[in-house]
């Protein structure tokens, strides 16, 4: 059983954060929250999303799992105006999801969850550095890095108390230096890792410019990016595997 | 003889409503109105447009017929700002149309009207149902239908007193239900017909979002869509042939 | 030695005016101004740009010459907001240009100036007619001409005291007539020349719509277009060779 009403903008934020990594996903309709975990086909980027029951206008669920085509669901949510409410109701017999937006009804065929890639376990990593920064700053660093390279280095300089977003191209280099006063918070620690820029660009598309993004970073370790949406009642964690640094 | 001055926005609205169906058309320069009738090459969609002399700043004509390339004429009208006036004057000898917009003169070679597809007769159909609805609602139904199918069903439910825009895809279905209170007016009657979505999408491009659209509908009959522009002094009627419904 | 700070918008205006003609150019870092001269590969269009030291927040230079990839430099300047300041500093040893924008550092590899096409000499022509006109009017004439032809004629009618922008197509003609009262200034003289529209379209992209453009014109002679940017402390002159007029 699943029956819920949610604002179109909250639904869209939730879907966008997952669709940047995968086309299809399982959605867990838990009693107290909707939850999605997914990993991209290359096993490089993962996403863990929860949207609490309180983020919905109304929410009833009993622990089922459905499989959805994310682009299709995004298109439907895209039909709504930001203020519109979206009604979702699962028909257990036909395995279809009924979606209603102000007189418009959409009957969405679901995907067999068993046909969808297994959900990843996102490990606790206890990383030595933590940076809290505006989404817009991360976007700035990514755009600049994209001018010169396919890779991006995230680095904390403990002595300088600064966070660096860096890229080295064949002829040109770029770095964005964010000092303690440019950041919302910084717990400095030994941290420097290289990542594929394509994945960070995709994740950045979903991160709101004004979000507080908590970045957990280590030395040649995966990075974790956390942010909230839906007035704090939705949480997204991205985890991205590092590239081996060639020196 | 033809000599007229009209606002750029009225001229553009007139041209757009025809150019969604055909590339070239005949324009009848009647004494009291400018009139266009055209049918698309597949004989599926027709348009009947009149723009009264009163819609012009000034209008003099004596019943001639000219043939025009609509895209070219739209490009020229597109050079004007919305508030600009467009002067049109036919040179009978050279068979060219002189167009003037604030210092800019364009001399447009006309097309031999005899080389243009014959104008259709748009029949009186006396259809059993009539729905008056905002252009924006029709657009909403078309956009939704386009997510699942190439066809769209328009239907009136007499018992429910509601107008439905519906589409059935291979796996997903969509319908927009507009009750009497969502409509400007409804004369219910037995009416349900299936149409090619492409034609309705094209017609919808020309229909202003805030226009009152009068929809005349029957059972497996053509649909007629009427709306006004140019402060009520321009009238457009589209007629679209139905698709055979496979049950 | 070169070290300067300039507003992002002034830098962008300067780069755009040159990049419409060439991909790479030499920049002369003179003591009292930054200067660029360039000619397109076909030797048809030339640009001469100067940006006075006073246009910069700070400016120190001693007469060096650097070679740059303009698109790359435009991309970097494009990272800044309009109000942002851009810091430029030449590293003489590595032959790299360090660019800083609010915490973002970009190290740009320069191009050997000797590998760049030689700078043109832009001749004094003492042309008989001079028209001063808003950039927007030139843009209007170019857009209209582009509907019918690949060439554009600029002409002054001494008797009518008017400036004409004209184009003749295979079937259609277009002309924009600007009388003395439509112009900022007019020194009439015998002047009529035909030009390649592509070049004027490119130059027009860089000319601000609200700029006062001084057009110097002769009979089958090159045209010169001058305008200012950066609050009058930047000057651009374009020179465009005429096409032979076939009568």
- Per-residue pLDDT, C82: 80
The backbone torsions φ and ψ at residue C92, rounded to the nearest 5 degrees and listed phi first, read -65, -35
Query: What pLDDT, in 10s, does the model give residues B148-174?
Result: 999 999 999 999 999 999 999 999 999
- Per-residue pLDDT, B217: 98
Q: Among B144, B168, B169, B181, which would you mutate to test the A interface (most chain A Cβ atoms within 10 Å of its Cβ)?
A: B144
User: From residue C117, how far is each of A55, C41, C50 by CA, in Å?
Assistant: 62, 8, 19
What CA–CA distance (Å, rounded) separates B36 from B1? 17
Regions of chain A with pLDDT less than 70? 245-247
ipTM: 0.88
What CA–CA distance (Å, rounded) separates B227 from B124? 17
| Closest by CA position to B62, among listed B73, B50, B53, B74 | B53
- Per-residue pLDDT, C139: 97
In chain A, domain spans: 2-111, 129-240
DSSP per residue over A96-165, as a string? EEEEEETTEEEEEEPBPGGGS-PPPP------SEEEEEEHHHHHHHHHHHTTT-SEEEEEEETTTTEEEE
Chain A residues inside the 8 Å CB shell of B178: 103
C120: tokens are: 């043109």
Chain C residues inside the 8 Å CB shell of A175: 104-105
Q: Where are the beta strands (DSSP E) in chain A?
A: 2-7, 24-29, 33-39, 45-52, 58-61, 64-69, 85-91, 96-101, 104-109, 129-134, 151-157, 162-168, 173-179, 185-187, 191-196, 212-217, 223-229, 234-240
- Per-residue pLDDT, C245: 63
Q: Report the residue from A143, A172, A179 with minimal CB separation from C108.
A: A172
Is the pLDDT confidence value at B119 over 80? yes
Q: Report the residue from C143, C175, C182 with minimal CB separation from B105.
A: C175
What CA–CA distance (Å, rounded) separates B216 from B185? 12
- Per-residue pLDDT, C246: 61
Can you tell me the mean pLDDT for B128-144? 97
Q: Report the residue from C103, C104, C106 with minimal CB separation from A172.
A: C106
Selecting from 3.40.50.970, 3.30.499.10, 3.30.9.10, 3.10.150.10, what CATH number does the domain A2-111 have? 3.10.150.10
Helix (H, G, I), strand (E, B) or coil at B194: strand
Q: Among A148, A152, A166, which would you mutate to test the C interface (most chain C Cβ atoms within 10 Å of its Cβ)?
A: A148
- Per-residue pLDDT, C238: 98
Is the pLDDT confidence value at B247 over 60? no
Helix (H, G, I), strand (E, B) or coil at B109: strand
Q: Where are the beta strands (DSSP E) in chain B?
A: 2-7, 24-29, 33-39, 45-52, 58-61, 64-69, 85-91, 96-101, 104-109, 129-134, 151-157, 162-168, 173-179, 185-187, 191-196, 212-217, 223-229, 234-240
B17: tokens are: 């409503």
Q: Among A171, A175, A177, A178, which would you mutate to test the C interface (most chain C Cβ atoms within 10 Å of its Cβ)?
A: A171
Say what the alpha-carbon torsion angle C3, C9, C11, C12 is, to the nearest 10 degrees: 150
Q: Which phi-psi region, left, alpha or beta, contains residue A230 (left: φ > 0; alpha: ψ -120 to 50)?
A: left
Q: Do C144 and B107 touch (CB under 8 A)?
A: no
Nearest CA in chain A to C108: A172
Bridge partners of residue A150, in order along the sequence = none
Tell me which DSSP letter residue B31 carries. S
| Mean pLDDT of the residues in chain B | 96
Can you tell me the mean pLDDT for B123-145? 96
Helix (H) or strand (E) holding C132: strand C129-134
| Closest by CA position to A142, among listed A171, A175, A173, A172 | A175
C partners (3+ CB pairs within 8 A) are A, B
What CA–CA distance (Å, rounded) separates C214 from B246? 69
CATH code of domain C2-113: 3.10.150.10
Q: Do B176 and A104 touch (CB under 8 A)?
A: yes
Tell me which DSSP letter residue B32 carries. S
- Per-residue pLDDT, A129: 98
- Topology of domain B129-240, per CATH? Proliferating Cell Nuclear Antigen (3.70.10)
Cβ contacts from A onto B, under 8 A: 35
Is the pLDDT confidence value at B245 over 80? no
CA B123 vs. chain centroid, Å, equals: 16
Chain A residues inside the 8 Å CB shell of C108: 172
Query: What pLDDT, in 10s, does the model give residues A207-224?
Result: 999 999 999 999 999 999
Query: What pLDDT, in 10s, does the model give residues B9-38?
Result: 999 999 999 999 999 999 999 999 999 999
Helix (H) or strand (E) holding B197: helix B197-206
- Per-residue pLDDT, A245: 64
Helix (H, G, I), strand (E, B) or coil at C201: helix
What CA–CA distance (Å, rounded) separates C245 from B170? 62
Per-residue pLDDT of chain C (247 residues; tens, 9 = 90+): 999 999 999 999 999 999 999 999 999 999 999 999 999 999 999 999 999 999 999 999 999 999 999 999 999 999 998 889 999 999 999 999 999 999 999 999 999 999 999 999 999 999 999 999 999 999 999 999 999 999 999 999 999 999 999 999 999 999 999 999 999 999 999 999 999 999 999 999 999 999 999 999 999 999 999 999 999 999 999 999 999 766 5
What residues contact B50, with CB distance under 8 A and at least 6 apart?
Answer: B33, B34, B35, B36, B234, B235
Question: Which runs of consecutive H residues, i.e. helices, occur in C120-167?
Answer: 135-145
Chain B residues inside the 8 Å CB shell of C147: 72, 75-76, 106
Helix (H, G, I), strand (E, B) or coil at C156: strand
């Amino acid at each position: 059983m699943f029956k819920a009403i949610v604002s179109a903008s909250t639904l869209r934020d939730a879907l966008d954060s997952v669709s940047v990594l995968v086309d299809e996903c399982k959605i867990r309709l838990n009693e107290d929250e909707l939850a999605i975990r997914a990993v991209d086909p290359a096993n490089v980027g993962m996403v863990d999303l929860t949207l609490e029951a309180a983020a919905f206008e109304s929410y009833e669920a009993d622990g089922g799992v459905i499989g959805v085509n994310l682009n299709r669901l995004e298109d439907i949510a895209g039909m709504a105006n930001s203020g519109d409410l979206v009604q979702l109701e699962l028909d257990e017999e036909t395995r279809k999801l009924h979606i209603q937006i102000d007189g418009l009804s959409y009957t969405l065929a679901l995907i067999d969850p068993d046909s969808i890639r297994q959900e990843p376990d996102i490990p606790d990593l206890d990383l030595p550095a933590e940076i809290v920064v505006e989404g817009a700053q991360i976007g700035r660093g990514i755009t600049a890095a994209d001018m010169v390279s396919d890779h991006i280095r995230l680095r904390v300089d403990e002595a300088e108390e600064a966070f660096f977003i860096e890229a080295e191209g064949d002829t040109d280099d770029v770095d964005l230096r964010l000092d303690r006063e440019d950041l919302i918070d910084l717990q400095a620690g030994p941290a420097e890792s290289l990542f594929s820029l394509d994945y960070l660009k995709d994740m950045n598309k979903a991160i709101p410019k004004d979000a507080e993004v908590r970045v957990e970073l280590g030395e040649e370790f995966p990075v974790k990016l956390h942010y909230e949406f839906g007035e704090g009642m939705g949480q997204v964690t991205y985890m991205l595997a590092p590239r081996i640094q060639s020196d």
